[in-house]
Amino acid sequence: MDLIGNSFTGSYHYTIDAKGRVNIPAKMRKALNPVNDRTFVATRGSDPCIILYPVEVWRQIEEKLINLSKRRALHRYYTRNFVRHAEALQYDQQGRVALPAGLIRYAGIEKDAEIVGMIDHIEIWEPGRLEECDRQYEDRQDELDSISDEIFA
């Protein structure tokens, strides 16, 4: 066993099959607490990718959303847009999930997908967009360094 606690790490390249299914990397399946019953909640990321939360993590988000004011239209809109694109996905005996068509479109995924661990959740990217993201931030090394300073102070 060489997984880091119960956190999601690493990056894996997979292909989407004709039925819209992607494999969940075996290491991530092992890292998912059994209480989640093999299921993740998929939704839109703040970045243009799909996010997979273990249900236990999603629960915490839901609790905060439900405590938002129901009186304020903006708060209702916020909740709606968050929940609207969320769907529970249970992976099959082969370890695959069927990604909703809407989320595949949002992430711009065609055939290939890069699955990236983000400690408490997982991201699924169209490979080109991930590279684009790298290019976008490469000239902001100073700011990145100062984040490093905060962390390793």
Partner DNA sequence: ACGTTTGTGGGTAAAAGTGGGTAGATTTCC
Partner DNA sequence: GGAAATCTACCCACTTTTACCCACAAACGT
Q: What residues make contact with DNA under the rule CB under 7 A?
A: 2, 12, 14-15, 17-19, 22-23, 25-26, 30, 90, 92-96, 98
Q: Which does 110 bind (CB under 5 to 8 A by kind): DNA, a second copy, none?
A: none
According to DSSP, the residues that pair with 114 across neighbouring strands are: 13, 125
Cα(84)–Cα(86) distance, integer angstroms: 6
The single residue listed with the structure tokens 């819209």 is 20
Q: What are phi and psi of 79, to 5 degrees?
A: -60, -45
Report the residue number, 22 or 51, with the smaller CB distance to DNA: 22
CA distance 15 to 66: 36
Give least dist CB 2 to DNA, A. Answer: 5
| Footprint on this chain of a second copy (rule: CB under 8 A) | 1-5, 7-11, 27, 37, 39, 41, 46-47, 55, 58-59, 61-62, 64-66, 68, 70-71, 73-81, 83-90, 100, 102, 116-120, 123, 133-134, 137, 140, 143-144, 147-148, 151
Alpha helices in the chain (DSSP H): 26-31, 55-66, 73-83, 101-107, 127-137, 141-151
R_g of the chain computed on alpha carbons: 17
Shortest gap between Cβ of 112 and DNA (angstroms)? 9
Least distance to a second copy, CB of residue 46, Å: 7
